[in-house]
Structure 1
């Protein structure tokens, strides 16, 4: 009951303030135009309020069609824009602090215009126009991000590894994650992404989970495409939280298990070596390092913990550097750092960088940072490193705004000796 009340309160608040923002923002238009705009806005607002429900329902069962998928995302973009508009108007009301303060502020900041002047904009109109501008920017930006979802970015990262054997100095690891094949709607664009990855000429390719959204068969149209991934030291993969089918209602437990079995078989068919809580030895020039992979293990409540790190590292050589594949970056602080110092590098994904944010030389921000301490890029703790890839695909929001899909090329170098 409390949740229902809060939801209804939020809907009422959003509807009122966003409507007021539009009403004030279009004051300068002709009356007939204002009425048309307001009517269209009311209809779009109703659709926008319903869209998050459809968004969650359809995303959990597979999108019914590309038309429906993009229609919902248009309205989700509008819904988020409305939140911004309502917030601006609400903050404006808080700033005014009541009718008396509003009158005083109006007289002090916006004195009556001279007779005959018609170009002064009232404070209400200004706030409404500002709200519409900011809300429209959010909505427009999210729609623009839909056009950027296949603009793959190659990131070159140098990672120091203590005790790295000489034969592995300069080792080039291609790190992919979060393909989410069920979200794709452009096979040619995906193929170009794979070609771009192979153009980096890696020594080793690793994939850190979430090949599909829910169903193993989502990857069927792309088996030949991802089978093109190859490297001298092989292609290795692990499972992510979406690969288990946990977010669907299956008719029987056997159907769910069969789905996972098919997913594993598809990876084998593509030539990928799936690591299930186990480790393998990679040899080069007569020397060796260890590559280990765990099933999904999350440090956050509500996500699966199938991984068994102890089992994965049980047969490893103590003085040999270990590269660990673990889908969820929260696993790093929860079980890896300090507890397993031989794990020199952990490779993760999962966050997608929330597919929305700002990254520059001077400033980094994404909503992902409020959920994960390590959400994108390279992190160091003593002699241990974590690299969080922003993901190759997309999920939910069918776009990428400020956080492009990533192909990471990691070069291993010997860490400087401590003095």
Structure 2
């Protein structure tokens, strides 16, 4: 209860201070009423969804929109506050100077005029994040982008020169809404006509049942050499059932059935071979393995590769990009609610068998950031948690692609970081050849 009281007090302080910009520009009490009514409705809706939220319930679209409306209302107000507070400081300094110099100490008209000008500028700038948030909620989350990479490998089997893979990740079906928009995304994936489709985890938010109404939609995915998948941290039921071993096990059984219904070949620390003209490449899939102590560590490269020879071509699906090159000192051997299986895992880069390409997801690019490829601009706050957070990376001749995700979680939208369909073409030879 105390945390709710503190939160409400903070929100009301923000609201009241931002309101001063409105009051400076108009004396219309109808506008005042609309301002406070909108705040009351948004705050009330947020409290409704989260005051009684308990672990074990699915995170619904209603919960997501409660967060979204709160952001849409208060991020612009925070910008207003910055401008108004800055203007208050300037006015206070000028007032102090006037009093000290005894020159024109009562220039109220000048102060009021300046206050009105600053309020107009602040409102105009605050409208930018408001528009961005609203766009992200209603259009940005469906603004699918096909991102293509061409990778060269000297040891790629000749038969696979020009081989294409489509990667998707982080469906988060419990957040999805429009079947029409999602079907468009599925059609866009199929239009790439890739040889194989690889899905790198988080098919749900919390429970397997979230995927039931989407099986027919995702079941339309097509690839001539098959569709392969792994689990992500959200696919184990921990967020719903905590440490209940039986409920977690049942949820995972249902998740595995969902993958099969869609036509995914789910790899649980296992591998498959794709053969062409007597040559082959290996597709490995590990269960979730993340360097953070908060996420399950069930993945085992040793188990997934135990039937693989030393000089074979390997593509790995591992949901969390921290698996790629984590530092040993980052590991915390304590488990998650005593049901996380901590392995003696090393990172992908240092693994004794060569993993040519690792495919991950997990970060979503935080669903917020700025990317302007033509100017070399690529930024999201998530980079401070995951240095490798989106796109293609290379370390010691090994590649990692971090997909920005197909769906969305918590905030029901995307701002600047759009949903991604990755197409990777494998080519034999050096890049300079």
Distance (Å, rounded) in 1 between the aligned partners of 2:262 and 2:28: 63
Alignment pair present for 1:271 and 2:263: yes
Q: Specify the alignment match of 2:128 in structure 1.
A: 137
TM, length-normalised to structure 2: 0.83
Question: Is 1:36 aligned to 2:33, yes or no?
Answer: yes
Q: In 2 relative to 1, CA 301–84 (structure 1 residues): closer, same or farther, beyond 3 Å?
A: farther
- The answer to whether residue 376 in structure 2 is matched with residue 377 in structure 1 is no
Query: How big is the shift at 1:90?
Result: 4.7
- Whether 1:85 and 2:80 are equivalent positions in the alignment is yes
What is the match of residue 343 of structure 2? none
Answer yes or no: is the 8 Å Cα contact 1:21–1:129 preserved in 2: no
| Shift, 1:152, TM fit | 1.6
Measured after TM superposition, the shift of residue 319 of structure 1 is: 0.7
Partner-residue secondary structure (3-state), 1:26 = helix
Residues 49-85 of structure 1 show CA distances to partners (whole Å, capped at 9, x for unaligned) of 747946x938972356x66753552223223333443
> How many residues get paired?
408
- Equivalence for 2:359: 347
Change (3 A) 1:27 1:321: same
1:25 Cα deviation from its structure 2 partner: 4.1
2:53 counterpart residue number: 57
Q: Does 1:393 align with 2:390?
A: no
Q: Which residue of 2 aligns with 1:358?
A: 370
Counterpart in 2 of 1:337?
349
What's the offset of the Cα at 1:203?
0.5
Moved more, 237-246 or 123-132: 123-132
Deviation of residue 41 (structure 1)? 5.8
Whether the 8 Å contact between 1:59 and 1:396 is mirrored in structure 2 is no
Residue of structure 1 aligned with 2:299, choices 300, 307, 314: 307
Query: Where in structure 2 are the equivalents of 1:6-405 lying within 5 Å?
Result: 12=9, 15-30=12-27, 32-33=29-30, 35-36=32-33, 39-40=36-37, 43=40, 46-47=43-44, 50=47, 53=50, 57=53, 61-62=57-58, 70-90=65-85, 96=90, 99-100=92-93, 103-104=96-97, 122-148=113-139, 149-249=141-241, 252-334=244-326, 335-340=347-352, 342-361=354-373, 362=375, 363-405=377-419
Q: Note closer, same or farther for the CA distance 1:46–1:122 as it changes in structure 2 (3 Å cut).
A: farther
Is contact 1:277–1:293 with CA below 8 Å preserved after alignment?
yes
1:25, 1:125 within 8 Å by CA — same for their partners in 2? Answer: no
CA deviations on 1:260-287 (whole Å, 9 max, x unpaired) are: 1011012112221111011222211211
- Rounded Cα–Cα distance in structure 2 between residues aligned with 1:216 and 1:174: 24
Describe the superposition over 1:75-115 as per-residue Cα deviations: whole angstroms up to 9, x where unpaired: 2322333344344445556x64x94465439999xx99999
What is the aligned partner in structure 2 of residue 408 from structure 1? 422
How far off its partner does 1:135 sit? 3.6
- Contact kept? 1:176, 1:206, Cα under 8 Å: yes
2: CA distance between counterparts of 1:228 and 1:236?
14
- Looking at structure 2, the residues matched to 58 and 80 of structure 1 have their Cα atoms a distance apart, in angstroms, of 27
1:315 partner SS: coil
Let me know the Cα RMSD of the aligned residues: 3.5
Q: Structure 2: how far apart are the matches of 1:38 and 1:393? A: 33
Measured against aligned partners, the alpha-carbon deviations of 1:313-368 in whole angstroms (never above 9, x if no partner) come to: 22211111211100011111121113346101100001111111111122111122
Distance of aligned partners of 1:165 and 1:130 in 2 relative to their CA distance in 1, 3 Å threshold: same
CA contact (8 A) 2:370 2:380 kept: yes
Distance change (3 Å), C-alpha of 1:68 and 1:298: closer
Whole-Å Cα distance in 2 between the matches of residues 384 and 409 of structure 1? 18
- Bigger shift: residues 31-40 or 409-418: 31-40
2:65 alignment partner, SS class? helix
Question: How much does 1:123 deviate?
Answer: 4.0
Summarize deviations over 1:220-265 as a string: whole Å, max 9, x none: 1121222222222211000000010110136953222111101101
- Following the alignment from structure 2 to structure 1, what is the Cα–Cα distance between the partners of residues 34 and 364? 37
Secondary structure of the corresponding residue to residue 158 of structure 1: strand
TM-score w.r.t. structure 1 length?
0.85
Native 8 Å contact 2:170 2:200 kept in 1: yes
Q: Structure 1: which 5+ residue stretches go unaligned?
A: none
- The worse-fitting range, judged by mean Cα deviation, of 10-19 and 195-204 is 10-19
